[in-house]
């Protein structure tokens, strides 16, 4: 990883209590949303990131039972971008 570029070869996200259908819908939208979040944020990335991110953990997120895949993808993109330093995390209802 260079200071000016991050390459994500694989992203595995564990979702607990989410239906397979909602998870698949979220996966279909996540890359596009994450790219948009990172493009809109600051050009610098957190300086404390290790060279190889074998494991990344973000805080658990409480979700509404009626959440759909598109909304889940928005929440995941917000949290991942905030963790990487690309955008602030917003609270969603």
Give the helix, strand, coil percentages of the chain, each rounded to 5. 40, 0, 60
Is the model's pLDDT at 93 over the cut of 50? Answer: no
47: helix, strand or coil: coil
Domain-located, residue 13: no
Annotate 49-59 with b (16+ C-beta within 10 A) or e (fewer): eeeeeeeeeee
Domain-located, residue 6: no
Residue 70 pLDDT: 94
Residue 54 pLDDT: 62
Domain hosting residue 29, numbered range:
20-84
- The C-alpha atoms of residue 66 and residue 43 are separated, in whole angstroms, by 35
**pTM of the prediction?**
0.69
């Amino acid at each position: 990883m260079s200071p000016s570029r991050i390459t994500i070869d694989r992203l595995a996200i564990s979702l607990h209590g989410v239906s397979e259908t909602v998870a698949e819908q979220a996966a279909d939208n996540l890359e596009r949303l994450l790219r948009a979040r990172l493009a809109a944020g600051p050009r610098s990335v957190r300086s404390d990131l290790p060279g190889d991110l074998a494991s990344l953990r973000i805080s658990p997120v409480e979700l509404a039972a009626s959440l759909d895949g598109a909304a889940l993808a928005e929440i995941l993109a917000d949290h991942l971008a905030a963790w990487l330093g690309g955008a602030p995390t917003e609270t969603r209802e």
